[in-house]
Structure 1
Amino acid sequence: MFDKYDNRIPFLELPNISIKINCPNSTRIIINHCSPSISIDKLGLVIEDLVIESSDLDNIRPSYDATMVLSLPENSHLDIPIKVLPGSVQDFTVQPENFEKQLIPGTIIKDLNLELFDAYGNHVQENEKVGFSVDGFCWLDRSFSSKKVDAFGCIDLCGLLRVTGGYGRNVSLSICSNKESISRVWQIEKRQLRISSQIPESCFAGSQLEHLEFEVVNSKGEVDVNFHDEDETGQSHTLVIKSQSQFMDIEDSVKYVFRQGRCLVRAVPVPLETGEFTFVAAHSGCPDLQLTLKVLIEPHSEMEPQPLNIRHSLNAISFMESETPITSKSPQQFTPEKMDICYAESRLLETDRESFREFRKDLEDDIHEIGLRIGKVEAEIRWLEDEQRQIEVNLSELEGIRDQILGIDSYGSLGKNRILTRVESKSDCAASLVMKHLKGMRDQDRCGLMGNIIGIVALLGTTPTFELSRLFSEYLGDQMLAVVCKHYEDVRLLESYQKNGKLNPDFALHMFARKLGQSINGRYLVLCIEDIRACEVDKDVEGKLLFPDPTLPNGSTPAGFLGYAVNMINIDADHSDTKTDSGCGLRETLFYRLFGDTQVYETRDDMKRAISCIKDGAISMDGGILRGNGAVSLGCLEPDIVFPVVPAKNRLSESDMRLLKRYRELKLELKETIAMLVKKNKSRESDLKRFKERRDLYARYFTPRDLETCL
């Protein structure tokens, strides 16, 4: 307390005080407990153990500003500005509410948002870091372990988790904050594999079990029609048959497809030996879905059994004039259509007229169904081709304006043509061959495996000045010509090796080099962005990484510090949307891998004075280079391969931003349309191949007039 002359007055006794907290937006805050006391020197009033409760803090987020009013005797009061922050995570909810419907083994969870609350039901404060542990799931990003809460008190996990648990198993997601763990447990819906056709208790040795129909049912006994083998959605639902008899070897690489929850196995060969024959029918992707079947094998009473060698029949038939037999070392997607061929051979040998008529009808139905499907797919292809042409027209109209806004020439960023020409002129360089190959690729090829080859480092970034371009290129050295691809598996598109470990010169990039009269000397670097551990630092609205400024021992920022190299390089406009499967861009993957925490300073002297806070290295604008960990680059170099230069522009107008947004949307639409077109063409080729197989098989046994009637 103070008198009117601002002299401090000691407290003679503990005064009667009341505490109230005022907040905007009618936020109600209750003071549940406090312990006031007088300091030892009697000059101060100490308030301890103040317990505040409120469930309305969302009304004052994100600032959480409030005022604590301390009322003293004689109508005096003191207003103290405070912040009332929510507590740590005590509960969370999962959106959407029907999240369990996404729990299908092997699939990626496409829609999952967590809403986090404290003990009083307030959303958790923005940027609070939350750890995760999962059971029955796996992270698509292997480095993922924690994430920060967004401005709405939520965490977006869309597209980050894959279901690994089996049908009927429990899966769980736990969040950890302040050493507390909160879990949610779900059960994947139960599924059961059963046989719907009748199996005889016994059969003759050397015969076969025919027309075995299996189905997948839910807990209510209803057939799950979602068990449908579909290439377009990436869901594989197939059945395999495995023999448990030492006298019978069934081709377990043969797979039978599920259609609308049902799978038909035309024939299962029975061994020649008498006794109990046991075999297992199992889902190829979900081993929990399996069924063990037993049949008693009896000796044939009239004649010596003649076994049907299914494997021999398969090898004897050559689909589409192929000379490659189906063996256990060459797994096949063994559909009911292909099984019909073996079925026809065996039935014709037995001259079973009823089965022959049934085979003919099945064949006619298949030909008719495949023909209709081909017609439908061709109509979809024509529509997609028209859509592609229209999008390309719209893009060409916007491209000129977009180039003016961003300062882009006909190939890309300003100076990019010149850099590309320099790269292509290096006749013994892998980067030269990659760029020539990418330049000649069609859009359809970019949606295939070769689309995973992104480019080379030098052409994936730009700088605002030539000085930065030269310095960054000198700092990276040979890494400027490193080839960048999506996955580690894509490396096989560039090289393959013989059995003795030596390079195969007749494959991939080396074969392409030989066609152009070039060669690749020595080794070259390949960077796979999916396998780079992304930087987990937050980003600003421009996508720059929010690193704290370096600090000297006295707590100040070093003089001459300009920023971090990874933030001073810009992503090339054509690759601004290039991301990993988990949504990470080139800055936090590729360029953070190359530059790390490298700092940029005005002069060498500034850099030397800041050496105590330099970890990964530093560059000065007058040419100095520190490599970090005691290494310094001396001398001078004028690199011929540098980053293209795109001068910094003033802030874009709203109309320019709308145009660029529309351009990006059209580019994405074009990419999706071409990808769908590639899928539809593959589907059409597959159906045409199947149609020819069925048609040729029909022609072997029936007249052309019958075939015309069928069509």
Structure 2
Amino acid sequence: MQDELQKLALKVNHHEENIRFLKSELNAVEDSCADLGIKIGNYYSSMAAIANNDTSVEEAEQRTIQSILKQDETAAGIICQLKIRHYQHASKLPLMKDVLGVVATLGKINNDNLSRVLSEYLGLDNMLGVVCKTYDGVEGLETYDKEGMVDKTSGIHGLGRTIGKFLDGRFTVFCLENIRPFSGDFMIDDPQRKLLLHKPRLPSGEFPPGFLGFAVNMIHLDQANLSCLTAGGHGLRETLFYSLFSQLQVYKTRAELRNAIPLINDGAVSLDGSILRPNGSFCLGNRASLGIQFPVTANLGVSNLPVTITELEEQVKHKNWEKERLLEDIKRQEDLLNQVKDLFSKKKEQFMAYITQPGMLQRASQASPTIPSPATPGSNPFGSRPPHLR
């Protein structure tokens, strides 16, 4: 009977392991379905925007650059002016060779509302932040005299003076090699090298209504910026943009965001302007216009998709079939597990009743070998001897 119990316990473990494996597979399929749903939504919204003569990528970039150039007494404004209006001179300067650009120009978004709310979330200082590859580039932007005061004749300050711009106040600089990169994995076969992040889930296992994705993965990088890597082999998404957004979630509406608050750890935004910061604070009131935002172009929603929308929809059908099959397998394994558990409980009760019977205890004591007492003469070679042997 004891052997039977051990075999049943092994069967319980076997079915539990099967269920854990199947649920992990189900999570992966549901993640794929969510990603495909986002892509299909982007496709249709992009096609609608293109039909309405939406701006091209080049026009969107120029719009952002012109907005930065208006900030002519900032480090970002000076760098943009040097790169665009004084390119030949600037390209020869060691200082400019390490500067990748300004945060607002390094990524693109295919939705105007998302671009506006993410720009507001980051704030003007971050959007105008200068991005350098190495710390040598950071040091080259500014030098100091013996008293520790900023030398206005060197670095970015000196370059600004050469074009009649005087930089005053502080400015933000990001150094890629000093940013701790995202330590996880990337989505398989994704040309944009998006980060593999765990999507929020309700207790039922479903995604919260209105969840669109993570902000860090909704930034589009062009080929030049995708190929920009640190000495450690890390790109802009897993360094700069992950440091700015972390796992910031994006929802369709304010109401859907608020319903998902228990599932939000690193803040969230919604397309209609709601902002929940990682520290738990809300940004209320009317939306502020920074005047600077990521370039917006609907063409991004189409350029990274398969040739036809039919292919995407077929993938969704296949994933839904996989999901149904996995749910059936999980149900079957759970039924088998319950049967084995019931049988195990019954066998355990029988075994406990058997070993606790009074007659069983008496027989067990009689069957046990008798150990002679050391105090009994003759039972111990070192004990007392009979009188005739003394």
Category of TM-score, reference length = shorter chain: 0.5 to 0.7
The residue that corresponds to 1:465 in the other structure is 111
Question: Are 1:509 and 2:156 matched, yes or no?
Answer: yes
Could you report, residue by residue, the CA deviation over 1:422-467 in whole angstroms, capped at 9, with x for unpaired residues? 2112221110111122333449947955321000000000001111
Question: Which position in structure 1 is the counterpart of 2:310?
Answer: none
Q: How far 1:551 sits from its partner (Å)? A: 2.9
2:195 equivalent in structure 1 = 545
In the TM superposition, what is the alpha-carbon distance from 1:492 to its structure 2 partner?
A: 2.3
Q: Secondary structure at the match of 1:455?
A: strand
Q: Match for residue 39 of structure 1? A: 5
- Report SS of the residue matched to 1:484: strand
- Residue 37 of structure 1 deviates from its aligned partner by 3.2
Report the equivalent of 2:100. 454
2:272 is the alignment partner of 1:627 = no
Q: CA deviation digits over 1:242-266, x for unaligned, max 9?
A: xxxxxxxxxxxxxxxxxxxxxxxxx
Matched, 1:434 2:84: no
The Cα shift of 1:414 comes to: 4.0
In structure 2, relative to structure 1, the CA distance for the partners of 1:583 and 1:446 (3 Å cut) is farther
C-alpha distance 497-548 of structure 1, shift in aligned 2 (>3 A): same
Assess if the C-alpha contact under 8 Å between 1:537 and 1:546 holds in 2.
yes
Assess, with a 3 A threshold, how the Cα gap between structure 1 residues 552 and 508 changes in structure 2: closer, same or farther: same
Q: 1:487 aligns with which of 124, 131, 134?
A: 134
In structure 2, C-alpha distance between the alignment counterparts of 1:601 and 1:45, rounded to whole Å: 45
TM-score in terms of structure 1 length: 0.34
Q: Structure 1 pair 570/445, CA: closer, same or farther in 2 (3 Å)?
A: same
**Which residue of 2 is the match for residue 30 of structure 1?**
none
- In structure 2, the residue matched to 1:415 is 60
* Partners of 1:486 and 1:441 in 2: CA distance: 19
**Which residue does 2:369 correspond to in 1?**
none
Task: For residue 629 of structure 1, give the secondary structure of its aligned residue in structure 2.
Answer: coil
Equivalent-residue separation in structure 1 for 2:277 and 2:173 (angstroms): 22
RMSD: 3.3
**1:624 shift after superposition:** 0.4
d(CA) in 2 for partners of 1:639, 1:49:
58
Residue of structure 2 equivalent to 1:59? none
Q: 1:513 to 1:556 in 2, by over 3 A?
A: same
Residue in 2 aligned with 1:617? 267
User: Hey, what does 2:122 align to over in structure 1?
Assistant: 476
CA contact (8 A) 1:532 1:593 kept: yes
Alignment of 1:113-512 (within 5 A): 413-439=58-84, 440-442=86-88, 445=91, 448=94, 450-478=96-124, 479-512=126-159
Whether the 8 Å contact between 2:95 and 2:155 is mirrored in structure 1 is: no
SS in 2 for 1:628: coil
Alignment partners' CA distance in 2, 1:421 and 1:526: 20
Q: SS where residue 470 of structure 1 aligns?
A: helix
- Partner of 1:645 in structure 2? 296
Q: Cα deviations across residues 456-488 of structure 1 (Å, max 9, x unaligned)?
A: 000000001111111111111121100000112
Question: Which amino acid in structure 2 is aligned with residue 644 of structure 1?
Answer: P
Q: Which residue in 2 is equivalent to 1:525?
A: 172
Q: Taking structure 1 as reference, are residues 532 and 553 closer, same or farther at Cα in structure 2, changes over 3 Å only?
A: same
Cα distance change, pair 518–444 in 1 and its aligned pair in 2 (3 A): closer
**In the aligned structure 2, how far is the partner of 1:556 from the partner of 1:492?**
49
Q: Deviations over 1:147-174 (max 9, x none)?
A: xxxxxxxxxxxxxxxxxxxxxxxxxxxx
CA distance in 2, matches of 1:47, 1:588: 43
- Measured against aligned partners, the alpha-carbon deviations of 1:20-51 in whole angstroms (never above 9, x if no partner) come to xxxxxxxxxxxxxxxx93239x9x6956999x
CA distance in 1, matches of 2:119, 2:162: 31
The count of residues paired between Structure 1 and Structure 2 equals: 264
Q: Structure 2: which 5+ residue stretches go unaligned? A: 22-53, 308-390
- Identity of counterpart residues, as a percentage? 37
Query: In the aligned structure 2, how far is the partner of 1:522 from the partner of 1:533?
Result: 27
The alpha carbon displacement at 1:592 in A equals: 0.4
1:525–1:424 Cα change, 3 Å: same
Q: Give the 3 Å change call, closer, same or farther, for CA 431–46 of structure 1 in structure 2.
A: closer
Matched-pair contact (CA < 8 Å) for 2:99–2:132:
yes
Q: What does the per-residue CA deviation read over 1:592-635, in whole Å, with 9 as the maximum and x for residues that have no partner?
A: 01111110011111111111221221001111000122211112
Find the residue that maps to 2:277 and give its secondary structure: strand
- Could you tell me how far 1:408 is from its partner in structure 2? 9.5
- SS at structure 1 position matched to 2:97: helix
User: After the TM superposition, which residues 567-586 of structure 1 pair with which residues of structure 2 at under 5 Å, given as runs?
Assistant: 567-586=217-236
What is the letter of the counterpart of residue 519 of structure 1?
Answer: F
SS of 1:535 mapped into structure 2:
coil
Gaps of 5+ in 1: 1-12, 14-35, 51-80, 86-406, 654-711
Counterpart CA distance in 1 for 2:214 and 2:237 is 12
Please show how residues 52-63 of structure 1 align to structure 2 within 5 Å: none
What is the alpha-carbon distance in structure 1 between the residues aligned to residue 94 and residue 158 of structure 2?
19
In 1: Cα distance, 2:75 partner to 2:93 partner: 22
Secondary structure at the aligned position of 2:302 is classed as coil
Q: For residues 237-287 of structure 1, what are the alpha-carbon distances to aligned partners after superposition, in whole Å with 9 as ceiling and x for unaligned?
A: xxxxxxxxxxxxxxxxxxxxxxxxxxxxxxxxxxxxxxxxxxxxxxxxxxx
What are the superposed Cα offsets for residues 527-550 of structure 1, whole Å, 9 maximum, x if unpaired? 001100000121112211111111
Output the amino acid matched with 1:524.
F
Q: Which whole-Å CA distance do the structure 2 matches of 1:634 and 1:483 have between them? A: 29
Q: Please say if residues 456 and 483 of structure 1, whose CA atoms lie closer than 8 Å, have aligned partners that are also in contact.
A: yes
Contact 2:106 / 2:225 at 8 angstroms: preserved in 1? yes
C-alpha distance in 2 between matches for 1:640 and 1:39: 72
* Distance change >3 Å, CA 446–CA 463, structure 1 → 2: farther
Could you say which structure has the greater relative contact order, defined with CA pairs below 8 angstroms and 6 or more residues apart?
2
Q: Does residue 605 in structure 1 map to residue 255 in structure 2?
A: yes
Q: Distance in 2 between matches of 1:517 and 1:444?
A: 15
The superposition leaves residues 363-416 of structure 1 with CA deviations (integer Å, 9 ceiling, x where unpaired) of: xxxxxxxxxxxxxxxxxxxxxxxxxxxxxxxxxxxxxxxxxxxx996xx64411
8 Å CA contact 2:76–2:102 kept in 1: the answer is yes
Contact 1:413/1:645 (<8 A) preserved: no
Which AA in structure 1 matches 2:60?
Answer: G
1:639 counterpart letter in structure 2:
L
Q: 1:631 to 1:47 in 2, by over 3 A?
A: closer
